[in-house]
């Protein structure tokens, strides 16, 4: 296999290559108010307990809603919801009821007060379990305490942000390399 020809690349833009986990919608509730934000910067941190690290910018209305209620739901939208995902990311819950404006259905969770978004493929109810990195990095360490996942399709068409207004839509799956895996890594 031949080596790639490369050029210098701005370090501030390398996120374009690292970001493409699915874009998620994070819903929250506090003092009778609900909200939704669009999020691309998240990472799995542990299997058991099921930990996810999320970057929430301090200027976002969701920042205090999640920090103070210590709860949220990570919802996984599919490609049909892309216009709403962008609209939710373009607006702030300070001025808008995003469930009403974007025609999304809030369903109660079982473990947290934050609502699930019914139109999303999966909903992960989360509790804030470590707030120590919020001040320095705006990093919320969340534990998924309950997960609701659609029965089909098995592989949803999720959207993955590549920066500069470009989404990659998940497509082809391959099990071709599965036999080479160490079982513990599956």
Ligand X SMILES: Cc1cc2nc3c(=O)[nH]c(=O)nc-3n(C[C@H](O)[C@H](O)[C@H](O)COP(=O)(O)O)c2cc1C
Where do contacts with ligand X occur on this chain (CB under 6 A)? 23, 35, 37-41, 55-57, 60-62, 86, 89, 91-93, 161
Q: Measured from the CB atom, is 25 or 116 closer to ligand X?
A: 25
How many Cβ atoms sit within 10 Å of the Cβ of residue 19?
Answer: 16
* Burial of residue 85 (number of CB atoms within 10 Å: 0-12, 13-18, 19+): buried
Q: How far is the CB of 95 from ligand X (least distance, A)?
A: 9
R_g of the chain, CA atoms, integer Å: 17
Q: Choose among 119, 83, 93: nearest CA to 35.
A: 93
Name the residue nearer to ligand X (CB basis): 3 or 18: 18
Decide whether 60 or 123 has the Cβ nearer to ligand X. Answer: 60
Residue 31 CB, shortest distance to ligand X, in Å, is 15
Alpha helices in 12-71 (DSSP H): 15-18, 61-69
Residue nearest to ligand X (CB): 89
Name the residue nearer to ligand X (CB basis): 48 or 159.
159
């Amino acid at each position: 296999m031949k080596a790639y020809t490369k050029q210098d690349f701005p370090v501030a833009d390398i996120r374009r290559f690292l970001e493409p986990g699915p874009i998620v919608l994070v819903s929250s509730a506090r003092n009778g108010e609900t909200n939704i934000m669009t999020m691309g910067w998240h990472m799995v941190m542990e299997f058991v307990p099921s930990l996810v690290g999320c970057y929430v910018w301090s200027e976002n209305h969701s920042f205090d809603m999640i920090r103070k209620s210590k709860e949220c739901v990570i919802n996984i939208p599919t490609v049909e919801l892309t216009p709403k995902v962008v609209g939710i990311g373009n607006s702030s819950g300070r001025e808008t009821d995003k469930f009403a404006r974007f025609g999304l259905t809030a369903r109660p969770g079982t473990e947290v007060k934050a609502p699930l978004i019914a139109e999303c493929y999966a909903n992960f109810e989360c509790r804030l379990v470590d707030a120590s990195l919020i001040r320095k990095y705006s990093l919320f360490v969340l534990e998924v305490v309950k997960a609701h996942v659609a029965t089909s399709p098995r592989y949803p068409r999720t959207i993955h942000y590549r920066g500069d207004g470009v989404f990659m839509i998940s497509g082809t799956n391959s099990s071709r390399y599965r036999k080479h895996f160490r079982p513990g890594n599956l």
